[in-house]
């Protein structure tokens, strides 16, 4: 068996183990260690295995991961996100389908602070869906909007996926952050527009509300949620103006979140300890997956499979960017039903990046496309991860069929957003081009 055949066999075994619910880090690490020793020898294999993780984990840019996690968990444990849905509701509820529109806005803001689609879906499901059901919203719309809107945190910066993609693709993480802002905003606006149009055409879909709020109530609601916009503005504004790097922005974001919590008298020892614990657990989970994918990347490189695939695909497609994007779409949407986004991103980049580079595609633009595809995979039937998170959070309040029925309309909007991102690269590349460095 030649090196290429060993590489193909390794991918097949890794995917089989993942399908059998073996943790992705264990599956990739085990396959890679055995594969590297087959391709070299035991002594050389141990040398690679002992050196690669230390050299990569020591990458300074990776310190942004625990810092952004700390920022998000501090916001959550100190209650900065508690009044988010109510505040958005006061300003948006009178629109057709206003509570669902509110769900999109609140989820997008929550996700941008937490950096986790799953955490957003779980938290907002408990807050927003029962309120919509109480106002006679269709269960499919009430649950589907939160399942879909939770994914926006991957695209709206700061995003852990962008940090990891930037490190692997060796592109500016700050430019990736800026590149994701407008596509994320477009995605959220498309969701909102679709809800308003559907509610206008079918009033039975979304119960009407005659709630009116005084100026005092509106000002009080702003007081409840001002920390999140201020925090996000500090992080993104500092990066855009060139005041600090994305790595430094993570530390500043975490520090500002703690200071805001102290200023609001919401920081307790219990909340601080919880934030630190969640950060340590989250960072450990991400880094162990990183180590597994590092081994897998080295294994595939030794097999020569990525370069062979790149040459083969490029010879068939003649370097067509559209065909490469379509191929990537199939891979990410299908695998995205089974594999969580961080693992899937790191699993596929060693194979896909050589294709993208060979076709002369802009790696920042392609990164935004990949992250959008990962978002779609999170809600794609039959095993969209966010859908099951919503079901777990709501129990018997909404059926699984209703949730999948509800996310269908949002998947259509996701496809529209993806087409816009592909057709107009400037949407992703304009802000990175004008940012100060």
pLDDT tens digit string along 359-374?
788 999 999 999 999 8
Per-residue confidence at 33, pLDDT binned at 50, 70, 90? confident
pLDDT of residue 317: 62
Mean pLDDT for 269-274 is: 90
Per-residue pLDDT tens digits for 290-335: 788 778 877 877 887 766 766 666 566 666 788 888 888 888 877 7
- C-alpha span between 89 and 406 (Å, rounded): 21
Residue with tokens 């396959």: 31
Q: Is the peptide bond before 158 cis (omega within 30 degrees of 0)?
A: yes
Mean pLDDT for 261-288 is: 86
Per-residue pLDDT tens digits for 109-147: 877 776 667 667 777 787 788 888 888 888 888 888 888
pLDDT of residue 335: 74
Is residue 29's pLDDT more than 80? yes
Is residue 94's pLDDT more than 80? no
Residue with tokens 């040459």: 311
Mean pLDDT for 228-254 is: 82
Mean pLDDT for 31-47 is: 81
User: Any idea where the domains of the chain sit in the sequence?
Assistant: 60-289+304-434
Is residue 283's pLDDT more than 80? yes
Tokens of 214: 């005084």
- C-alpha span between 214 and 352 (Å, rounded): 54
- C-alpha span between 23 and 340 (Å, rounded): 11
List C-alpha distances in Å: 153 to 121, 234, 284, 375, 402: 10, 17, 20, 9, 23
Mean pLDDT for 88-99 is: 78
Full-model pTM: 0.81
pLDDT of residue 429: 92
**Closest C-alpha to 225, from 72, 76, 83:** 83
pLDDT of residue 190: 94
Is residue 58's pLDDT more than 80? no
184 versus 394: the higher-pLDDT residue is: 184
Mean pLDDT for 42-69 is: 76
Q: Helices (DSSP H) in 58-169: which residue ranges?
A: 64-77, 84-92, 98-114, 117-134, 139-149, 160-169
Is residue 52's pLDDT more than 80? no
- C-alpha span between 347 and 368 (Å, rounded): 17
Question: Per mean pLDDT, which range of 4-18, 160-174, 176-190, 379-393 is the poorest?
Answer: 379-393
Per-residue confidence at 424, pLDDT binned at 50, 70, 90? very high
Is residue 171's pLDDT more than 80? yes
Is residue 194's pLDDT more than 90? yes
């Amino acid at each position: 068996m030649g090196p290429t055949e060993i590489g193909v066999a390794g991918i097949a075994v890794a995917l089989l183990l993942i399908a059998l619910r073996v943790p992705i880090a264990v599956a990739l690490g085990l396959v890679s260690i055995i594969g590297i020793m087959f391709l070299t020898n035991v002594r050389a294999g141990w040398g690679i295995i002992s050196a690669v993780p230390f050299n990569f984990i020591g990458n300074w840019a990776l310190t942004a991961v625990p810092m952004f996690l700390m920022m998000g968990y501090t916001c959550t444990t100190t209650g900065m996100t508690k009044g988010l849905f109510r505040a958005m509701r006061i300003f948006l509820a009178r629109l057709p389908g206003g509570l669902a529109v509110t769900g999109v806005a609140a989820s997008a803001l929550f996700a941008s602070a937490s950096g986790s689609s799953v955490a957003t879906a779980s938290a907002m499901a408990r807050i927003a869906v029962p309120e919509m059901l109480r106002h006679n919203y269709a269960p499919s719309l009430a649950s589907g909007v939160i399942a879909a809107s939770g994914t926006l945190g991957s695209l709206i910066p700061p995003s852990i996926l962008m940090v990891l993609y930037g490190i692997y693709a060796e592109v500016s993480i700050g430019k990736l952050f800026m590149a994701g802002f407008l596509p994320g905003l477009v995605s959220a606006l498309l969701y909102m527009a679709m809800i308003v149009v559907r509610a206008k055409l079918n009033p039975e879909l979304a119960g009407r509300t005659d709630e009116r709020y005084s100026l005092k109530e509106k000002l009080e609601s702003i007081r409840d949620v001002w920390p999140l916009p201020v925090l996000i503005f500090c992080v993104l504004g500092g990066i855009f103006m060139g005041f600090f790097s994305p790595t430094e922005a993570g530390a500043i974001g975490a520090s500002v979140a703690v200071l805001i919590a102290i200023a609001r008298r919401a920081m307790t020892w219990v909340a601080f300890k919880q934030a630190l614990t969640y950060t340590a657990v989250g960072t450990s989970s991400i880094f162990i997956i990183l180590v597994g994918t590092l081994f897998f990347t080295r294994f595939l490189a030794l097999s020569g499979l990525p370069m062979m695939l790149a040459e083969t695909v490029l010879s068939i497609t003649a370097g067509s960017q559209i065909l490469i994007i379509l191929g990537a779409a199939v891979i990410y949407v299908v695998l995205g039903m089974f594999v969580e986004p961080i693992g899937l991103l790191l699993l596929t980049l060693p194979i896909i990046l050589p294709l993208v580079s060979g076709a002369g595609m802009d790696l920042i633009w392609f990164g935004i496309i990949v992250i959008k595809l990962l978002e779609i995979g999170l809600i794609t039937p039959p095993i969209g991860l966010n859908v099951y998170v919503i079901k777990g959070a709501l129990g018997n309040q909404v059926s699984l069929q209703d949730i999948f029925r509800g996310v269908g309309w949002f998947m259509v909007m996701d496809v529209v957003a993806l087409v816009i991102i592909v057709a107009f690269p400037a949407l992703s590349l304009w802000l990175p081009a004008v940012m100060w460095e």
